[in-house]
Amino acid sequence: MTVRVSGSEITLSGTVGALWYDEGFTASEVIAALAQVGDENDVTIRLNSGGGIATEGSAIHAAIARHTGKTTIVVEGIAASAASLLAMAGDEIEMALGSTMMIHDPSGFTYGTAAEHEMSLRALNALATSFSNVYAAKSGRTAQQCRADMKAETWLTPDDAVTQGYATRAGSKPANDNDAEPAVAAFDYRIYAHAPKRLTALAEKNDWRMSVTRPPAASAAPTPEKEPPMPEPKAGATTPEDIAAARQAASTLAIEISDICAKAGVPAMTTQLLREGVTAEQARARTSQAKDIRMAVDLARQKDPTIEANAADVYLAEGKSLDQVRAALFERFVAKEEKTPINPTTPLATPEAGASSATASMQRQLKRAGVKQEA
């Protein structure tokens, strides 16, 4: 995890999705950081990322866009690919001196039949259309113009980004600053078709490669944009045909789960479900609980306003089930009840005391609030 919070500032550095190298950040981590700042407070987010998982960038964009206070995104070093997408959520976007932004079409690969290639093509086009609308909404340009920039893999200096509407302002040189360019995040920039030579040279010099540093789930295969590497084939898949079939099945499942999460309105759940290695049916069951989870949290907040306003988003990004959310809310209620001081002038109505009393009391209150506690 490379998410740092200092007062009203959040620093995000590394890959979007935190699956490569030693640094990175996820949607759930960003949601938690925003909660720490406070939803009503203004926040400055300092961003330095070469890209990562497209759907994770989309989920982070949604989380930042929901923040009630003013959001200022400061690109320090680089915001490429998925990182540039999430940057568009800022009310203001500042490009630090010497920084770089890049937007492009999401990418992926398919091994299989014509039908399988067509399915991947539809998925990639759907993502590209969605992302072009995000860039258009921020820049004031048309979605068609933004899509043309994406297809061209457009690299932008601070002045370029401001001129084309992808940034609000270019930062000035700080006092007593030297002439060194800002350090860019570790990333294999060689995967991009038109990356500046200085970035590809850095990747070569530092041996930045797309190797996993955090173990992915068995089904966490590449989906459109730079998704986690293919899982190893199951035991018994020893022929090239079997291995290819296993990898294609994993890729197809990853795309399906991403689509399930998007349709359910919880794209932030995608990464967690992929890491867990769930089936498509399990993903549908989990995402179908999103509405009930939000309702449970809303009811719980009526009883305990100290529960964070975005608690449901955090639970969903962590992939928690409805029962797990109910249990977590119940534990919070019990902990608060146990800390409530007893008025010495009020006689005790029952011999119950301590944790058992708190538990019984909270069970009754939860029942009245409509939050069920499973046996």
Q: Which carries the bigger pLDDT value, residue 283 or residue 270? A: 283
Which of the four pLDDT bands, split at 50, 70 and 90, describes residue 185? confident
Tokens matching residue 370: 């409509």
User: Given this model, what pLDDT does residue 153 score?
Assistant: 95
Tokens matching residue 118: 């067509």
Give the type of residue at 16.
Answer: V
Which of the four pLDDT bands, split at 50, 70 and 90, describes residue 367? low
Count CB-CB contacts under 10 A for residue 87: 30
Which of the four pLDDT bands, split at 50, 70 and 90, describes residue 170? very high
- Identify whether the C-beta of residue 10 lies closer than 8 Å to the C-beta of residue 33: yes
Mean pLDDT score, 160-177: 81
User: Given this model, what pLDDT does residue 321 score?
Assistant: 85
User: Cα separation of 263 and 85, whole Å?
Assistant: 19
User: Given this model, what pLDDT does residue 372 score?
Assistant: 56
Mean pLDDT score, 332-336: 79
User: Given this model, what pLDDT does residue 208 score?
Assistant: 78
Give the type of residue at 363.
Answer: Q
Q: Which of 50-64, 123-137, 260-274 has the lowest mean pLDDT?
A: 260-274
Give the type of residue at 337.
Answer: E
User: Given this model, what pLDDT does residue 374 score?
Assistant: 52
- pLDDT higher than threshold 90 for residue 89: yes
Q: Which of 34-43, 297-306, 336-345 has the lowest mean pLDDT?
A: 336-345
What does the pLDDT look like over 309-323, one tens digit per residue? 888 888 887 778 888
**Angle, helices 290-303/354-369, rounded to nearest 10 degrees:** 120
Q: Which carries the bigger pLDDT value, residue 220 or residue 273? A: 273
Mean pLDDT score, 116-128: 83
Q: Is the dihedral of CA 276, 277, 279, 284 positive or negative?
A: positive
What are the residues facing 212 on neighbouring strands?
20
- pLDDT higher than threshold 80 for residue 359: no
Which percentage of the chain shows pLDDT scores above 70? 73
Across the chain, mean pLDDT equals 78
User: Given this model, what pLDDT does residue 76 score?
Assistant: 93
Which of the four pLDDT bands, split at 50, 70 and 90, describes residue 184? confident
Which of the four pLDDT bands, split at 50, 70 and 90, describes residue 341? low
User: Given this model, what pLDDT does residue 273 score?
Assistant: 79
CA within 13 Å, CB half, 116? 16
Tokens matching residue 62: 């949604």
What does the pLDDT look like over 71-85, one tens digit per residue? 999 999 999 999 999
Q: Which of 23-32, 112-121, 298-307 has the lowest mean pLDDT?
A: 112-121
Mean pLDDT score, 227-244: 49
User: Given this model, what pLDDT does residue 360 score?
Assistant: 59
Q: Which carries the bigger pLDDT value, residue 152 or residue 125? A: 152
Mean pLDDT score, 253-264: 78
Q: Which of 60-69, 92-101, 186-195, 264-273 has the lowest mean pLDDT?
A: 264-273
Q: Domain limits of the chain?
A: 3-279, 290-369
What does the pLDDT look like over 134-149, one tens digit per residue? 999 999 999 999 999 9
Give the type of residue at 193.
Answer: A
User: Given this model, what pLDDT does residue 94 score?
Assistant: 97
The CATH number of 3-279 is 3.90.226.10
- pLDDT higher than threshold 50 for residue 354: no
